[in-house]
Amino acid sequence: MLLRSMFAQNYRSLRSIRMDLAGVNLFIGENGVGKSNLYRALQLVQAAVRGTLAYEIAAEGGMASVLWSGPRREEKNFRIRLEVEVLDEERAVTFRYRVEAGLRPPQAAAGFAFEPQVKAEELLIETGSRPVTMMKRAGPGIMVRGERGRMEEYPEQAMTSETAIALLGDAGHYPEAGAFRRMVDGWRFFHGFRTDRDSPLRQPCLAVTSPLLDQDGSNLAAVLATLVHTREDTVELDRAIAAAFGGARLHVPEPGEYAEFGLVFPDFPRRVFQPRELSDGQIRFLGLAAALMSYRQPPFIALNEPEASLHPDMLSPLAGMIAEASRSSQIWIVTHAELLASAVGERCGIRPKHVIRQDGATWIEGMRLTGVPDDEDEE
């Protein structure tokens, strides 16, 4: 799977921005320019396919809080618009999905005043010369392409807070909607791990084979145990940990009822340091290692400011893990750290995208309105 492009309009600082995307996408910029809003826009697309878009926007403060708040013309139907183009490389099928959400009409009956209203959706696929509409939704009504290849009315209307893509994916009769939903559902977003004493990263977890890290890191111990005792190949992981922690090695006992782990440092070769004893940076690095080097790699991994709490000596090993993960996953990184950006750029052979504010809106320095960098033709 390859996320080929994204478009976001009227979402927080994203007035209207479209970007073509590559295998590794590296964003750097100052505080407050809107880097995290780009990341969050993709999370909302995933929320749409999972059927949790309304909840996610409500958790941000409701529709009125997330709409573009800069200067704008008076528009009757002002709304957030999100689009992605995803290529299924194995089947040579391109999926294009769009969702629009807005405020409840003033004349609407009493209800959830701050809940977003899904106004429109569309799913198209392209296998040849022109795209074919598979689903189109305007208001509560849904039109879908049936088994005979004709657009027909879906028998169930969507609630204003529901997404059609989630309804159709659950129905099981629409393979294109189901395929797109499975691809996007597999994306992983790691916004930052808690590192306090009660952090999920520091806790033992039930000993269940875990090929992927949960987004809060709560199954970290099980992911590490799966690598050590199921895959039985931790060469790259061991190398990264040794480089980050001055020659330390990972200790993962065979799981019983619970999976556990610790670190052994060269200065104390007979003592295992438990997760509760590790520094914030050490436990966060282990979380990132599990996210990037898990038994089964997700198709898309997004890291938001992964350098937080890390010692500068850990950034080069982190860049190495990112480069290794990029062999099988598409990567999206948002960072403040010039050192990390430089290391990732060198190892992955890419240039960072500098995020700026232009006329009050988030923009990529040197990017054309088409979403292509000005210097692309020179490469």
Q: Can you tell me whether residue 33 is helix, strand or coil?
A: coil
- 190 three-class SS: strand
Residue 274: pLDDT band with limits 50, 70, 90: very high
Cβ neighbours around 215 below 10 Å, total? 15
**DSSP assignments along 340-374, one per residue:** HHHHHHHHHT--PEEEEEETTEEEETTB-TTS-BT
Distance CA 256, CA 229 (A): 12
pLDDT-derived band at 375, boundaries 50, 70, 90: low
* CA distance linking residue 272 with residue 262, whole number of Å: 6
Residue 262 has pLDDT above 70, yes or no: yes
Question: What residues does each domain of the chain span?
Answer: 2-187+355-378, 189-348
Which residues on adjacent β-strands are paired with residue 318? none
Contact yes or no for 137/159 (Cβ under 8 A): no
Phi, psi of 215 (to 5 degrees): -65, -20
Contacts of 56 (CB under 8 A, 6+ apart): 43, 44, 47
Pairing of strands 330-335, 24-28: parallel
3-state secondary structure of 12: coil
pLDDT at 295 exceeding the cut of 50: yes
User: In this predicted structure, what is the pLDDT of residue 128?
Assistant: 79
Tell me yes or no: is domain 189-348 CATH 3.40.50.
yes
Strands lying side by side in the sheet with 141-145: 14-20, 2-11, 79-88, 93-102, 117-126, 132-138, 141-145, 151-153
Mean of pLDDT over the chain: 91
Q: Is the pLDDT of residue 378 over 50?
A: no
For the stretch 162-210, pLDDT in tens is: 999 999 877 668 889 999 999 999 999 998 899 999 999 999 999 999 9
H or E, element range at 14: strand 14-20
Strands lying side by side in the sheet with 24-28: 188-190, 300-304, 330-335, 24-28, 353-358, 361-364
DSSP readout, 82-145? EEEEEEETTTTEEEEEEEEEEPPPTTSPSS-TTS-EEEEEEEEEESSSS-EEEEEEETTEEEEE
pLDDT digits (tens, 9 = 90+) for 29-47: 998 899 999 999 999 999 9
pLDDT the model gives residue 370: 66
- Does pLDDT of 319 surpass 50? yes
d(CA 309, CA 1): 32
- The token pair at 9 is 């309009």
Can you give the pLDDT at residue 78? 85
Question: Higher-confidence residue: 174 or 374?
Answer: 174
pTM reported for the whole predicted model: 0.91
379 pLDDT higher than 50: no
